[in-house]
């Protein structure tokens, strides 16, 4: 079964092939040419209108998230020759999307422009390009009908959602993800519909699909079945034997991601980004996941356009089957393999992958950013109906056919979808502003707009007006001897633990221990170490146990006592901040002597020799699974060390 539809097969057209037989022979080609011109003009106009609406909506909400600034810290280190690290001398992969890191670095290196402006432009560009490729792929799915109007449908639903417009300029990899999806969608449809598949095009398709783990690791749940489907489908006839062609497919799809994976394990000592360790991406929080889903679906009544477009999609499929002879066929292995290279198989793949990715997002508990972690899934669900073909019936006929009523229903559905889009585009889902509700989910853009006082926080210095940021810069300036900066409860100041004597001639290192890594790291020089209690940039915190009832995405919280020991600062009062316990600090010092913990830290801090690379590669999986107890006393017990303050025996 194929979903590729010719104009004469569309039930919505309401026009039988024989309706124009009475016309003069010369009139039909002229009418056909006019119809084709109007169809192309309408489609191009629809793409232009959709892209312009999305661009205007995204630009009006332009900003760069704190997490978007995290990417730029790594870019700064790359530009400075320190390697793809967050802090010089500590190999930590703080960005979930490796591809996004290097894309931003490339355009920053090419343009030599300020990184914030580069990432803003690139994010917006790939987001808009994703819409174009999605519409091109879907138009091709429906056969590129020359006499039908290809009208925007699903894309209107996507661009209307405020989170979609928010993350079109956020500096995060959301735009790259949907761009990769849209291009893969177009390539798959072209492959499925081609009369003859050429080897270079096939290898380009599988190469693009193989980029999934570099674009974002969970996108492998879409790419892996796609690659399996391509591998099992009949291969093109070439001068190479089929087994050799399949070898080319494996090599083209796997060479780059496999090479990066080997490098990642040897360089960073982990099989996946450190963010996956910090957030325990293999963990399970189903209840929070369903809250996150409803947080997106509920306020916008998102189920309404999805249901409407589902009905439209069913009508389109019926159009494809209308008038076709339905043969009863036995499904043999050969027929299944042939079906794999068909538009209906591609649509099944896309919708199935969207469902699997949604289930995965529910399992891990979603995210703390409103809507962000469900945007790719929504985009996938909407792809088959990104545009829909509508062919206006010939109203000169007095008798209304079933196609006329079908046309009216589809047109009504599209008008309703457009009306919903106007409603959703002006809806505020989370009204808490600067407050974090019990769900832990916030409207990230509004949160930072209100907390910085800037309508469009883009530059790093815009975030200096966030609580504590300007004070942090002042403390670093006023403490040339170095030290450890710990945030005070006042939201406006910092406590400083000084380095021990003797102080080096040029002063000691500054270390900032704070949750908001992006704004912090982008407002200090690269020689200032920035780490966080959650562990995105700090392996010791990343490998601590997850808090059972912690806020989603922030459910690790390493005590600062560990950091005093780790940075080698003075660990006695009155030099140490008053609220730290000398007993706990002493216990943390003992706990950090655990051999396994030291081995973990050496994997990212030890000099990168060939032997270190080989050792990291061999032990990456073990390092990824290693966890410590954030309470020093309990960590001493876990590691079977001697507690300097043993509990008294009664």
Mean pLDDT of the 504-521 span: 91
The answer to whether 360 touches 289, Cβ cutoff 8 Å, is: no
- Arithmetic mean of pLDDT, 499-512: 88
Question: Cα(44)–Cα(151) distance, rounded to whole angstroms?
Answer: 10
Q: Is residue 280 classed exposed, middle or buried when 0-12, 13-18 and 19+ CB atoms within 10 A define those classes?
A: middle
Q: Which strands, in side-by-side order, build the sheet including 483-487? A: 494-497, 483-487, 510-513, 529-531
> Considering only 11-20, 157-166, 327-336, 389-398, which range has the smallest mean pLDDT?
11-20
Residues 6+ apart with CB under 8 A from 95: 70, 71, 74, 101, 173, 273, 275
pLDDT score for 472:
95
- Number of Cβ atoms within 10 Å of the Cβ of 66: 22
Contact assessment for residue 279 and residue 553, using Cβ atoms and an 8 Å cutoff: yes
The tens digit of pLDDT for each residue in 254-305 reads 999 999 999 999 999 999 999 999 988 777 889 999 999 999 999 999 999 9
Rounded distance between C-alpha atoms, residue 166 and residue 128, angstroms? 13
Q: Is residue 303 within 8 Å of residue 417, measured between CB atoms?
A: no
Q: Give the number of other CB atoms < 10 A from CB of residue 296.
A: 22
Task: Classify residue 412 as exposed, middle or buried by CB count within 10 Å of its CB (0-12, 13-18, 19+).
Answer: exposed
Closest by alpha carbon to 264, among 604, 625, 600? 604
β-bridge mates for residue 369, sequence order = 442
Residue keyed to tokens 């006695």? 572
Torsion of CA 160, 301, 434, 164, to 10 degrees: -30
Using one digit for the tens of pLDDT, what is the confidence trace for 178-210?
Answer: 999 999 999 999 999 998 889 999 999 999 999
| Distance of alpha carbon 373 from alpha carbon 116, whole angstroms | 23
Q: What is the mean pLDDT of the chain?
A: 88
What's the whole-model pTM score? Answer: 0.91
Burial class (CB in 10 A: 0-12, 13-18, 19+), 379: buried
Q: Residue 517's Cα: distance from chain center in Å? A: 19
Confidence of residue 6 (pLDDT cuts 50, 70, 90): very low
Structure tokens that stand for 398 in this block: 């007095």
Would you list the domain boundaries of the chain? 37-200+281-322+342-393+408-426, 468-639
pLDDT of residue 326: 57
pLDDT at 447: 92
């Amino acid at each position: 079964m194929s979903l590729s539809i010719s104009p004469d097969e569309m039930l919505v057209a309401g026009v039988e092939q024989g309706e124009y037989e009475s016309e003069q022979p010369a009139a039909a080609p002229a009418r056909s040419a006019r119809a084709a011109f109007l169809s192309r003009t309408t489609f191009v106009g629809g793409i232009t209108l959709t892209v312009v609406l999305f661009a205007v909506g995204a630009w009006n909400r332009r900003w760069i998230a704190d997490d978007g600034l995290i990417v730029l810290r790594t870019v700064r280190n790359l530009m400075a020759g320190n390697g793809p690290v967050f802090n010089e001398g500590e190999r930590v992969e703080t960005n979930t999307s490796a591809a996004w890191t290097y894309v931003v670095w490339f355009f920053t290196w090419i343009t030599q422009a300020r990184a914030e402006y580069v990432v803003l432009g690139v994010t917006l560009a790939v987001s808009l390009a994703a819409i174009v490729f999605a519409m091109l792929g879907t138009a091709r799915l429906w056969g590129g009908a020359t006499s039908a109007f290809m009208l925007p449908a699903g894309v209107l639903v996507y661009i209307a959602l405020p989170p979609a417009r928010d993350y079109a300029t956020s500096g995060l990899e959301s735009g790259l993800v949907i761009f990769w999806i849209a291009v893969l969608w177009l390539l798959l449809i072209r492959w499925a519909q081609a009369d003859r598949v050429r080897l270079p095009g096939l290898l380009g398709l599988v190469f693009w699909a193989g980029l999934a783990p570099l674009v974002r690791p969970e996108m492998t749940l879409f790419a892996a079945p796609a690659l399996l489907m391509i591998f099992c489908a009949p291969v093109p006839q070439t001068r190479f034997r089929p087994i050799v062609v399949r070898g080319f497919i494996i090599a083209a799809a796997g060479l780059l991601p496999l090479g990066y994976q080997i490098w990642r394990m040897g360089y960073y000592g982990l099989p996946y980004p450190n963010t996956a360790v910090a957030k325990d991406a293999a963990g399970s929080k189903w209840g929070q996941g369903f809250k996150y889903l409803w947080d997106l679906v509920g306020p916008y009544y998102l189920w309404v356009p999805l249901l409407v477009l589902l009905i439209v999609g069913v009508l389109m499929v019926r159009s494809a089957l209308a008038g076709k002879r339905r043969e009863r066929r036995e499904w043999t292995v050969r027929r299944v393999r042939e079906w794999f290279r068909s538009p209906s198989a591609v649509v099944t793949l896309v919708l199935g992958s969207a469902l699997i990715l949604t289930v995965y997002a529910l399992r891990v508990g979603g995210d703390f950013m409103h809507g962000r972690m469900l945007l790719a899934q929504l985009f996938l669900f909407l792809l088959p109906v990104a545009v829909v073909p509508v062919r206006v019936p010939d109203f000169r006929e007095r008798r209304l056919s079933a196609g006329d009523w079908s046309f009216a229903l589809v047109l009504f559905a599209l008008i309703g979808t457009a009306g919903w889009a106007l409603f959703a585009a002006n809806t505020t889902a989370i009204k808490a502003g600067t407050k974090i509700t019990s769900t832990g989910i916030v409207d990230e853009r509004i949160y930072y707009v209100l907390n910085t006082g800037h309508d469009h926080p883009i530059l790093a210095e815009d975030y200096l007006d966030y609580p504590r940021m300007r004070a942090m810069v002042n403390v670093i300036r006023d403490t040339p001897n170095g030290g450890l900066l710990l945030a005070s409860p006042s939201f406006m100041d910092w406590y400083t633990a000084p380095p021990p004597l003797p102080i080096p001639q040029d002063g000691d290192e500054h270390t900032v221990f704070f949750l908001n890594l992006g704004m912090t790291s982008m407002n200090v020089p690269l020689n200032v170490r920035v780490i966080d209690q959650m562990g995105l940039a700090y392996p010791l915190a990343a490998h601590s146990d997850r808090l059972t009832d912690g806020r989603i995405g922030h459910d690790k919280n390493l005590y600062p006592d560990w950091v005093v020991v780790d940075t080698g600062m003075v660990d006695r009062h009155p030099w140490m901040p008053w609220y730290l316990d000398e007993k706990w600090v002493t216990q943390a010092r003992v706990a950090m002597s655990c051999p396994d913990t030291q081995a973990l830290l050496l994997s990212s801090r030890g000099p990168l020799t060939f032997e270190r690379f080989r050792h990291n590669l061999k032990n990456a999986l073990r390092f990824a699974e290693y966890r410590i107890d954030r309470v020093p006393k309990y960590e001493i017990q876990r590691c079977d060390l001697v507690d300097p303050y043993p509990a008294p025996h009664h």
